[in-house]
Amino acid sequence: MDGQRLQPKELTPLTRTCCILFLLPGTLNAKTFKNRCMQTTLTQTDVRGNEDCLYLNIWIPQGKREVSTNLPVMVWIYGGAFLLGGGQGANFLDNYLYDGEEIAVRGNVIVVTFNYRVGPLGFLSTGDANMPGNYGLKDQHMAIAWVKRNIKAFGGDPDNITIFGESAGGASVSLQILSPKNAGLIKRAISQSGVSLCSWAIQRDPLTWAKKVGEKVGCLSDNTTVLANCLRATDPKALTMAYHMELLSLPGPLVHTLSITPVVDGDFLPDMPENLFANAADIDYIAGVNDMDGHFFAGIDLPAINRPLEKITASEVYNLVKGLTADRGERGANLTYSLYTELWGDNPEQQVMKRTVVDLTTDYIFLIPTQWTLNMHHQNARSGKTYSYLFSQPSRMPVYPSWVGADHADDLQYVFGKPFATPLGYLPKHRTVSSAMIAYWTNFAKTGNPNSGNSDVPTTWPAYTSEGGYYLEINNKINSNSVKQNLRTPYVNYWNSVYLKLPRVTNTS
């Protein structure tokens, strides 16, 4: 790996790595997951994983006698802030979060998960040809290309590939369908709680962060050739540990600390994402968010929102708004604060104030850019159809206040069928949610229409248009009344027109 560190991998090594089962005599007992890519531990005090990590996993829905043929293929891209994660996901009682069995069997599809490089090894960039970045995105692309070439041998249809992902994985899905490098590879796509137009999905000043990482590992140079060569020669563990996400004593909102991310490199991403939607004109697309996706982030920024006995103040809310809107200065902060507090009255209750904070972070980090993305996809579409959803099954975390809805990543357990795989941990209502999501997702993978396929669905989900603004609200009470219109329209209109037209403030320090 030393000669290829902080560089894109060639397709040949990936093919060899993934296809080793064809080179060994007999049958490979493929029941254990390989190493995830090198990354910090959750506590960010050590390194886990390995540079030898570009492997993929395949689940096929077939009995002992029959062999499936020409099945739809669903390729999963995991999230983790472009810093963490692996193709198997977290392990709970020997049941991995991203185990594809329930989706494969219930939806009669092939499920593929894979690893890609994360953190500095996956996304560090000098902003020029010396270290262009996007290595993790290129790993994802190579995995999709491998599936395209080889999935027929596993009973899959190489012309019917759906990519789906969540958070940074959802943003990755969005970036993959916008990249010209994927022309002809992808038929459909699903972005859960993350799109290419999220503020955190693209690093606009990668050289600054390359220099900061360089300082920590002794690579001190303003010459990008020297800096890149030094970083490539650095011990990969030291390089991985040189950047981590601060969660305490933050100088500003947590979302603004996500810094080692994809870049516009002029190649894989030839332009800013908002200018590339013509590349996705024939790709069917689902995108949506959880109704309190920002709760996790809000809880880091203002911990008192999860403490019933602690109060937050209006000035704390204003300071958070000011931090989120730093690129539009004081005017942006004042307009945004006025919009979100206009229903407070003179003496708002604490629950109202705390929910406002969660709504604000959900909107800014996830919902507003997702609505922008849905509009851009629809407006640029030729044959591609567009669908929007809002996931609102309340969080199952007992330590959260009762008013908390669906937090970030709460949807994953339902998409991957955990209420069926580990039934003792769930109630019948949770199986209702999981069954519906698997049905919609796999129908969409098969036909491009979430309502048509192998699985019955609880209600018809209409396509999204800019005029109608239809979306499906997904929870255990899902029925015909779950089809709604114009999700948070006043806030969407504010952020995507009024706010964007405000003059950008260059010095936000």
Which residues are marked as active site?
167, 293, 408
Q: Residue 471: which residues within 8 A CB-CB, separation 6 or more?
A: 288, 388, 389, 390, 464, 483, 484, 485, 487
Parallel, antiparallel or unpaired: strands 110-114 and 56-59: antiparallel
- Can you give the C-alpha Rg of the chain in angstroms? 22
Determine contact, residues 135/73, Cβ cutoff 8 Å. Answer: no
Q: Give bridge partners of residue 53 from the DSSP assignment.
A: none
Determine contact, residues 483/461, Cβ cutoff 8 Å. Answer: yes
Rounded to whole angstroms, the Cα distance separating 307 from 25 reads: 59
Residue 136 has which token pair? Answer: 């993790």
For 330, other C-beta atoms within 10 Å of its C-beta total: 11
Residue 25 has which token pair? Answer: 């005599």
Q: What is the DSSP string of 211-258?
A: HHHHHHTT---S-HHHHHHHHHHS-HHHHHHT-----SS-SS-GGGG-
Determine contact, residues 480/302, Cβ cutoff 8 Å. Answer: no
Q: Which amino acid is at 433?
A: V
Q: Give bridge partners of residue 76 from the DSSP assignment.
A: 113, 164
Determine contact, residues 88/96, Cβ cutoff 8 Å. Answer: yes
Q: What share of the chain is helix, strand, coil (3-state, %, to 5)?
A: 40, 15, 45
Residue 132 has which token pair? Answer: 């262009």
Q: How far apart are the first and last CA of the chain?
A: 38
Determine contact, residues 227/210, Cβ cutoff 8 Å. Answer: yes
Rounded to whole angstroms, the Cα distance separating 493 from 296 reads: 25
Q: Give bridge partners of residue 58 from the DSSP assignment.
A: 112
Rounded to whole angstroms, the Cα distance separating 38 from 184 reads: 31
For 204, other C-beta atoms within 10 Å of its C-beta total: 11
